[in-house]
Amino acid sequence: YPPTIEARPAPVVRDCLSFPEALRHYGFDSVLESGQLATRRAYGVALRELGHANNGVCALDADTCNSTFAQWFRDDAEISDRFFECKIAEQNMVSVGLGLAAAGKIPFCSTFAKFLTRAYDQVEMAMNSGANMKFVGSHSGISLAADGPSQMSLPDVAWFRSLGSVADHNGAPGCYVLQPADGYAAYALTLQMAEHEGMCYMRTHRPDVEFLYDENTEFRLGGMEVLTEGRDLLIVSAGYMVHECNKALDDLDKLGIDASLIDLYSLPFEEEGLLDLANENGGMVLVVEDNYGGGLFSAVAEACVQSGDAFTVEQLAVKRIPKSARGEREILEQCGLHHEQITRHAARILGLVTA
């Protein structure tokens, strides 16, 4: 059996700045004015801030730091000695991170989510050892469009979620899967990952997206955020797809459909709140995700089945191997996940249209 690793607390230098404070402190004032930021960039800001706030935080990357934005940690002279460039060797990166965790450090391992699949064996062994490790997969889902399926990470939610279905040595989920929908969520959840003693995996996406939240929104592992409360249909989504679902709400309103929307940014999640809202919506649930099956829908469906209540749960997800596309709209339409397609599917569930 692999050895049990006991994480030792690292020295905390100061409290972390809020997201707006960090943006101003590191010279990104224009982001606040624009009102949008890619979650991968927000992760880069958070990682840099953690590097200053906690001397135990280390950053590792697999030759993609200019895309994951771990480069903002690397290029900061005050903390760059805790950055480790592991090149195109993801398995080695995870093994190095495991060694750092064994020494009481808090390693953040970043690369494209697609490339992290190469190290799944090492990730699972790290979980078995109780390692306090954090993984961040950039360019997740289908939103990178033109790069095609060779760069898209689509089975990752299902795989990492399976690790969260078992308890770790502390009784917590073996791994939390986090899918922030905007910059505020990505920043806050990165800080939450550092505070949690255990394994976490966070998906970030490439496109800039509008802010949905502000600094007063509280994010936590196992949590969710209710964006809209309705009475006809509960829509559940996470990450990039929250924005498409949010657009669909306006279309649904024009059809007379009063829909609820939950940003289920954490797996596993506390089920009671979601089940209560599902019941308030007549037990009608639509789960929307930009990955293969076994992820968000499976988690929601399992919770509904095990509750003993009567629910109708349907899924919109990537049901075919995607092709390259010229932009986000084209790839979303190709996979049946554009907000207009979400609207039509929701109307069909409620019997308002037949095709």
Which residues participate in catalysis according to the annotation? 90
**3-state secondary structure at position 217:** coil
For residue 185, with 0-12 CB atoms within 10 Å meaning exposed, 13-18 middle and 19 or more buried, which class applies?
buried
Q: Could you tell me if 229 and 191 are in contact, meaning their C-beta atoms sit under 8 angstroms apart? A: no
Query: Of 114, 62, 86, 148, which Cα lies nearest the Cα of 323?
Result: 148
**3-state secondary structure at position 70:** coil
Query: Of 344, 330, 336, which Cα lies nearest the Cα of 143?
Result: 330
**3-state secondary structure at position 115:** helix
167 is written with which tokens?
């308890």
Distance (Å, whole) CA 181 – CA 223: 13
Q: Could you tell me if 236 and 333 are in contact, meaning their C-beta atoms sit under 8 angstroms apart? A: no
Distance (Å, whole) CA 199 – CA 88: 22
Distance (Å, whole) CA 197 – CA 214: 26
> Look-up: residue for tokens 């009102």?
35
